Amino acid sequence: MMSVILWLVGIAFALFVIFAIIGAIIERKEAQQKQQQVTTKKVNCPNKPAKSLVQKLRDPDLKQSEPLDSKAPINDEKVDFSKKSHNQQLKEILDMVVETPPVKEPTVEPDIRFVTPHIEHRQANRSRYIKARKLSSAFTVIDFETTGLSPETSEIIQIGAVKYADGKIVDTFSSYIKPQFSKLSSRITNITGITEDMLVDAPIIQDVLPKFIEYIKCQTLVAHNASFDMKFLFSACDRCQINTDRFRVIDTLFLSRRLIGGVTNYKLETLKKELGLGTYKSHDALGDCYTTGILYLNCYQKAQ
């Protein structure tokens, strides 16, 4: 009888061990299937944007295993989470998140007196420049020194003008101009002798140009290589939104080529040296005005 009981107990124990092993295998397979489902879901949604730290903490379906974004701004205060539940940890992290308000960029109000030229305004000013066919003994010589050769990217840094009546000087105009959007290069300084120190306290073009336009109003203008000076004059007028009357312009470059021969070239500095047109400083706005005035009177006498 005792042996039968022991035999039954052995069978029961063996069955228990077998069922326990089978149960463990089934649980392991279920865990593997769940892991495969999660991996498949992530692969099928590669473009899904990652949640920010705040979105994850406010998501009611947040799981314990979902990682938090370590790059989110969090206060430096140290908190011991080892003895707190998962919900308590999330609540305390949420309280530490710093939501910074968007920073507004400062707005700079443009100077309404100095704007980018409009095409219509350019065309209107270009139509006010005509070449004078008849020479006159009453005229105003103009000359500009600039930061470069292009009126679109360079600025006037010196204005010069000499007014003549009956072939004689009656008035002059001269002013340095402080540049606003272009720099004075060492090359320009070497050519003109103008330095940054000479321009630091100079007036800006918006303050000088209206006075200059009034000064040359109704005058026949004379300039050497006049197209260069007129382009800079009209470009400055465009930026300052100044309308002008139609100017009559005489170019001594073309006039001297027609009336003067036997010179190396027709640069103003060359003509000054080879024709003995005075000793005024070259590449100085007012000095070049004096030289151009003498050159024009020379041509005027030859044309009579």
Tens of pLDDT, residue by residue over 41-99, are 554 555 555 555 555 545 555 444 444 444 444 444 454 555 566 666 666 666 665 55
Percent above pLDDT 90 for the chain: 54
Percent above pLDDT 70 for the chain: 69
pLDDT at 41: 57
In this model, does residue 184 exceed pLDDT 60? yes
Strand partners, 222: 141, 250
pLDDT at 56: 52
User: Is the pTM here over 0.75, yes or no?
Assistant: no
Rounded-to-integer distance, Cα 176 and Cα 199, Å: 7
Catalytic: 86? no
| CATH code, 119-303 | 3.30.420.10
Q: Where are the domains of the chain?
A: 37-100, 119-303
In this model, does residue 25 exceed pLDDT 90? no
Angle at 104 between CA 98 and CA 105, to 5 degrees: 130
pLDDT at 302: 92
pLDDT at 29: 78
In this model, does residue 251 exceed pLDDT 60? yes
Q: How confident is the model at residue 296 (pLDDT cuts 50, 70, 90)?
A: very high
pLDDT at 96: 61
Tens of pLDDT, residue by residue over 144-169, are 999 999 999 999 999 999 999 999 99
* Strand residues in the chain grouped as ranges (E): 129-131, 139-146, 156-165, 168-176, 220-223, 247-251
